[in-house]
């Protein structure tokens, strides 16, 4: 039985099926389960250490809530509530108290952990280099069309004023593109991260 099938079975036994639940991927990589609802989606990742990370995303694609679900039934209850349109504050305070929201720094750390533990293989090298640099680690990672972008923590995804992207030429070479500027030359992973950090330090 797949994890999606297990979740569906639990939901049906509780009298609230999850017909839209499937496996697949979100922009950060593969997921064990994903549920699209009227306010974007919730995704579930099962970690090698046995934990289950639930992430809830708003209509802009921003991470709205996140947390380690204690058990399968907690995942099901979260997904059912999200499917039924329970508002985020109530979702976190009454239905899924393991969920955290409203802490931008913690949200950024969660995104880095997703990329590190569950991200696409072709991004592993640049994610490792960028996440090891304190200046870059403070930025919000965002993946679009297979490219790692780093956004200033206070800028919304769809209103970015300060950001940059690592355009891959292969898994170990990148061109750094600072938004509203030219695309830089091909660099190895370490040099690309250093270039990005020097720019981000001026923001």
The model's pTM is 0.93
Residue 94 is predicted with a pLDDT of 95
- Indicate the SS3 state at residue 146: coil
174 to 17, 68, 101, 147, 158: CA distances (angstroms): 45, 33, 33, 10, 24
Residue 171 is predicted with a pLDDT of 74
Quick one: average pLDDT of 168-186?
Answer: 93
Instruction: List CB contacts of 104: < 8 A, sequence separation 6 or more.
Output: 153, 154
Task: Give 192-201 pLDDT, tens digit per residue.
Answer: 999 999 999 9
Listed as own residue / partner, the contacts of 148-156 with beta carbons closer than 8 Å and 24 or more positions apart are: 148/115, 148/123, 150/196, 150/200, 152/200, 152/203, 153/104, 153/105, 153/108, 154/104, 156/60, 156/62
Task: Give 131-151 pLDDT, tens digit per residue.
Answer: 999 999 999 999 999 999 999
Residue 152 is predicted with a pLDDT of 96
Domain segments of the chain as ranges: 3-95, 120-200
Residue 156 is predicted with a pLDDT of 83
């Amino acid at each position: 039985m797949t994890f999606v099938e297990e979740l569906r079975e639990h939901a049906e036994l509780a009298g609230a099926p999850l017909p839209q639940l499937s496996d697949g991927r979100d922009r950060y990589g593969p997921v064990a389960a994903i549920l699209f609802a009227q306010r974007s989606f919730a995704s579930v990742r099962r970690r090698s250490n046995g934990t289950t990370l639930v992430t809830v995303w708003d209509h802009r694609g921003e991470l709205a809530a996140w947390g380690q679900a204690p058990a399968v039934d907690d995942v099901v209850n979260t997904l059912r509530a999200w499917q039924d349109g329970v508002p985020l504050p109530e979702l976190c305070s009454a239905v899924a108290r393991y969920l955290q929201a409203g802490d931008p720094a913690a949200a950024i750390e969660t995104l880095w952990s997703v990329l590190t533990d569950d991200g696409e293989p072709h991004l592993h090298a640049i994610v490792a280099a960028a996440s090891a640099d304190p200046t870059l680690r403070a930025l919000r990672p965002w993946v679009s069309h297979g490219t790692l972008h780093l956004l200033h923590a206070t800028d919304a995804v769809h209103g970015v004023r300060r950001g940059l992207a690592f355009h891959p030429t292969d898994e170990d070479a990148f061109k750094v593109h600072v938004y509203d500027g030219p695309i830089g030359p091909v660099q190895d992973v370490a040099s690309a991260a250093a270039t990005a950090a020097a720019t981000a330090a001026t923001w």
